[in-house]
A and B are shown apart, each in its own frame.
Chain A
Amino acid sequence: SQTIHQWPATLVQPVGSPLSLECTVEGTSNPNLYWYRQAAGRGLQLLFYSVGIGQISSEVPQNLSASRPQDRQFILSSKKLLLSDSGFYLCAWSANEQFFGPGTRLTVL
């Protein structure tokens, strides 16, 4: 069966510091991969998606970036965090249906 991992689970970072969130998927090959951000108790905002290694589509202009160095690895990064980057970040994978990881709670102080 397929599983998806995200880490860290929680993160507190100062403004201006770098960010690296990692997501890995097991049990499937060549999945579509996604990064979402969710405001408290609300719907999901798509940030990036990838249909293959090195292929990244950006949905929202921001100071975040994404990379897919391996087939089942998706990384969300920032060089300098802003207060507005705080939120709940979700990684997901899909073949015909979309499945989510456990999420990372990011607080920027």
Chain B
Amino acid sequence: TQLLEQSPQFLSIQEGENLTVYCNSSSVFSSLQWYRQEPGEGPVLLVTVVTGGEVKKLKRLTFQFGDARKDSSLHITAAQPGDTGLYLCAGSLTSGTYKYIFGTGTRLKVLA
């Protein structure tokens, strides 16, 4: 069974602080995606990383794919209340099964 473990599960921080969310697996992924989800809505795709060691930036968000393509991290600089939400990572397996394995999610709350 393929698993994607996210940590931490919950995070409550003050506006302006930095944070990092981790996504780890023993499986190798051909690509990995990060989503943010608001309550009652579908997840919204933030970024896709495909190359081992790849780093992508989206304004204050920095995403990194591990060299072995088994893990990823999301770093937020100077968090704002608008960053509040559920963050999900999802990996696409290399076996060509068209399935995505989702992480357990990190619920972030940024306090003003």
Contacts and interface: CB of A to CB of B under 8 A. Distances in A.
Interface residues of B, number: 22
A99 B100 CA distance: 12
Contact of A102 (B31, B41, B48, B103): B41
Interface residues of A, number: 24
Contacts of B40: 88, 103, 105
Interface string A26-45: 00000010101000011110
Main secondary structure on A side of the interface with B: strand
Main secondary structure on B side of the interface with A: strand
B59 to A, nearest CB: 19
A59 B31 CA distance: 21
A97 B42 contact: no
Nearest to A36: B102
Contacts of B86: 41
Interface of B: 6, 31, 33, 35, 40-45, 48, 86, 88, 90, 98-100, 102-105, 107
Interface of A: 32, 34, 36, 41-44, 46, 49, 51, 59, 88, 90, 92, 94, 96-103, 105
